[in-house]
Amino acid sequence: MPSPLSPPLPAGGISQVPDAHGRFGRFGGRYVPETLSAALDQLQAAYDEARADPAFQAELDQLLAAFVGRPLPLLFAKRLTAYAGGAQIWFKREDLSHTGAHKINNTLGQGLLAMRMGKKRIIAETGAGQHGVATATACARFGLDCVVYMGAEDVRRQEPNVRSMRMMGAEVRPVESGSRTLRDAINEAMRDWMGSVETTHYIIGSVVGPHPFPRITRDFQSVIGQETLVFCQQELGRDPDCVVACVGGGSNAAGMFYPLVEHKGIRLVGVEAGGRSSKPGDHAASLSYGNAGILHGSLSYVLQDPDGQTADVHSVSAGLDYPGVGPEHAWWHDTKRVEYTSVTDAEALDAFDLVARREGILPALETSHAIAWAVKEAARRPKEEVIVVCLSGRGDKDAAEIARLRSIENGGAHA
Amino acid sequence: MTSHHDSKGPSSGPLAKTFAALAKDGRKALAPFVTAGDPDLDTTLAVLEALDRAGAAVCELGVPYSDPIADGPVIQASYTRALAAGFTLEKFFEMVRKATGRVKMPILAMVSYSIIYRRGIDRFVDDAAAAGLAGLVVPDLPLEESDVLDVTCKGANLALVRLVTPTTPPERAAEIAKRSTGFLYCVSVAGVTGARTDLPEGLVERVKWLQTKTDVPVLVGFGVSTPEQVKLLSSVADGAIVGSALVRRVGELAAEGPEGVAKGVESYIADLVNAAR
Ligand SMILES: Cc1ncc(COP(=O)(O)O)c(C=O)c1O
């Protein structure tokens, strides 16, 4: 398998980012309090050093194989394809990762970096809880202290993950401020880091945040796209026609797309959370409906009011319930290399049911957004075409919340 | 040869005059921070007048932001209250225009770059200058990202106050000190804002060293709340910034209305001003 830190990219323009200042075109950068500047410089230096160190590479590859279970296969979704009645739908099985989502690729990589920097305490934010679990897991494996900030609303709706984190020795701190979701958890993690930065590493869970986080997380996740290319050659003898991923902060999508952006023949599609409607406050689709703005340390697309105050957002899926998106996605959006679209709560829930019954897989609600789009699109495309869906995670964590939402729905139907 | 003036910005501006006057009297600057619009903008206006009467040298007016990562619970809660009470930038500039017409202390806005960027840098700076603000403090804008705002502020005769923290390496601190205009904000501790009881060790040395790296006054903030602390700081720094302790008081007094808040704030700040010498 190609290694995540030395992507075999063809030379070209669109992938040659970020620059030394963390810029993806005009996006990205580093808008943080001065207190964090030195730590971000240190992280950048440690990362550059690690990339050049074959031992780092080898240790990570070993973990990805024996601990995570990589490489992870492509599965032909036969009965889903038959249902859609058009192009072939294939699943890239990130849900088979140890801990059940792609997030572990990043937390192992950053955990190793933290140890290189001599930092023994790790903090993280989490929305769906998958990044929190992946961080707790890496910390248990490496013997690092772990504190996870999680919005109180997400603690409620992703309860199974809270339990797992605590079992692995992590402290989960519910965040009661603001909307009590992912965005507030990031605020709290950043505030912790302001006071602990000399001894603590912040493992941010997506391709968001100040430089160099978007780049580091993308690189650690790029193994998804690299494996996809290799498996497509093995199974199909060619590249896929279309690759689709859900976009919250954008890490599974960035890891999938980055190795593919120079393959000009592959159509790339990112699916955001369309929530209840396209009205402000009803969705979390920053690229579809937002403006250029700064949130959590970088310039990207954000959902803000005209004064620059972050807007309230909504998604049925905790992992997509975020008013911003990684700056590289903003760059791909503006360069038109990737198409971004959105899918509603209801469509995502239907896709969850469909895949559960037709494929015997419970996908995460986040992932269900990508699946919903793929099913709609497959119906419109010829049978020879291949659509690969990044199956970013498993949905066990969502089962109870989906059952709750369904019972409210059914109750409503009787009324 | 304009480099000296370029690096010091508006050397004849209101901030320079204020600091020169203090120096003549052998006094140090007491610089309070208050959140604009907490609990409402009428109260803020009354508070600004009270601070001026109490002898505050300059005032930092916090512009509420929904996601303030540099701020601790006290200021964060005040931002949340102000936004919930309907704070907008239009109303903010209108209130500032009134205030700057009534008080003699220069007023700066402490504002997130997210807010400046969204309004547009030129427009924000124009609005700030038109409202009579003396400068901006932008706590989430590091040196590397600040060139455009720097030039725009200079064009409008606004100071751009920069921050140095305990985690800033010396070389970088020297560069920040050199480029700060109006004054230099020396953050006493690594962490978010919030009142603390002790002054951290090494602070005195750091302030002395910073003073050798800049021509503008060095003010110390984060954690200052008592006259004793102000007195201690005044023996070395050019002034002290009082934030969370004042914001907490405003919050506690809010039920007493604008005049009640103003009265309580005035006596608290007057004691601190007395200690700043
Ligand atoms: C399974 C799964 N997919 C996707 C996401 C969204 O994050 P990102 O857009 O960074 O991949 C999450 C976040 O929690 C997740 O758990």
Q: Tell me the pLDDT tens digit for each residue of A239-271.
A: 999 999 999 999 999 999 999 999 999 999 999
Give the chain A residue nearest B83 (alpha carbons).
Answer: A309
**Does residue B198 register a pLDDT over 80?**
no
Question: Which ligand 1 atom sits nearest the alpha carbon of residue A248?
Answer: 9
Q: What is the pLDDT confidence band of residue A414, given thresholds at 50, 70 and 90?
A: very low
Sign of CA dihedral B251, B253, B255, B258: negative
Residues of B in contact with A29 (CB under 8 A): 144-145
A199 and chain B in contact, CB less than 8 A: no
Question: Which ligand 1 atom sits nearest the alpha carbon of residue A255?
Answer: 11
Give the chain A residue nearest B90 (alpha carbons).
Answer: A307
Structure confidence by residue, pLDDT tens digits, A26-43: 999 999 999 999 999 999
Say if the Cβ atoms of B117 and A308 lie within 8 Å.
Answer: yes
Say if the Cβ atoms of B114 and A293 lie within 8 Å.
Answer: yes
Interatomic CA distance for residues B160 and A262, integer angstroms: 42
pTM: 0.95
Q: Pick the range with the lowest mean pLDDT from A274-288, A313-327, A401-415, B263-277.
A: A401-415
How many CB atoms within 10 Å of residue A86?
Answer: 18
A291 and chain B in contact, CB less than 8 A: yes
Active site residue A278: no
How confident is the model at residue A7, as a pLDDT? 42
Does any ligand 1 atom lie closer than 6 A to the CB of residue A366? yes
Nearest neighbour of B168 by CB, restricted to A34, A194, A306: A34
**Does residue A334 register a pLDDT over 80?**
yes
Q: What is the pLDDT confidence band of residue B1, given thresholds at 50, 70 and 90?
A: very low
A237 and chain B in contact, CB less than 8 A: no
Q: What is the pLDDT confidence band of residue B194, given thresholds at 50, 70 and 90?
A: confident
- Size of the A and B interface in Cβ pairs below 8 Å: 114
**Does residue B2 register a pLDDT over 50?**
no
Structure confidence by residue, pLDDT tens digits, B93-141: 999 999 999 999 999 999 999 999 999 999 999 999 999 999 999 999 9
Residues of A in contact with B66 (CB under 8 A): 178, 309-310
Average pLDDT estimate for A182-209? 96
Average pLDDT estimate for A76-105? 98
How many CB atoms within 10 Å of residue B101?
Answer: 9
Interatomic CA distance for residues B183 and B161, integer angstroms: 6
Interatomic CA distance for residues A264 and A76, integer angstroms: 23
Token pair 């080898």: residue: A58
How confident is the model at residue A411, as a pLDDT? 72
- Residue B196 region by backbone torsions, left for phi larger than 0, else alpha for psi between -120 and 50, else beta: beta
How confident is the model at residue B5, as a pLDDT? 39
- Nearest Cα to Cα of residue B232 among B214, B220, B217: B220
Token pair 């501006």: residue: B13
* Residue of the CA atom closest to atom 7 of ligand 1: A248
* 8 Å CB contact between A389 and A244: yes
Catalytic position from the list B38, B60, B127, B238 = B60
**Does residue B6 register a pLDDT over 50?**
no
Give the chain B residue nearest A301 (alpha carbons).
Answer: B118
Number of alpha carbons in the 13 Å side-chain half-sphere of residue B169: 8
Does any ligand 1 atom lie closer than 6 A to the CB of residue A158? no
Q: Which residues contact A89 (CB under 8 A, 6 or more apart)?
A: A76, A77, A80, A81, A374, A375, A378, A387, A389
Question: Which ligand 1 atom sits nearest the alpha carbon of residue A206?
Answer: 10
In a mutational test of the A interface, the residue from B92, B114, B188 whose CB has the highest number of chain A CBs within 10 Å is B114
Beta strands in B139-265 (DSSP E): 159-164, 184-187, 218-221, 239-242
| Centroid of ligand 1 to alpha carbon of A251 (angstroms) | 7
Active site residue A392: yes
- The terminus-to-terminus CA distance of chain A in angstroms comes to 55
Helix (H) or strand (E) segment spanning residue A408 = helix A399-414
Which DSSP string corresponds to B89-114? HHHHHHHHHHHHHH-SS-EEEE--HH
**Does residue A144 register a pLDDT over 80?**
yes
* Residue of the CA atom closest to atom 15 of ligand 1: A319
Q: What is the pLDDT confidence band of residue B193, given thresholds at 50, 70 and 90?
A: confident
How many CB atoms within 10 Å of residue B83?
Answer: 18
- Helix H segments across B235-256? 244-253
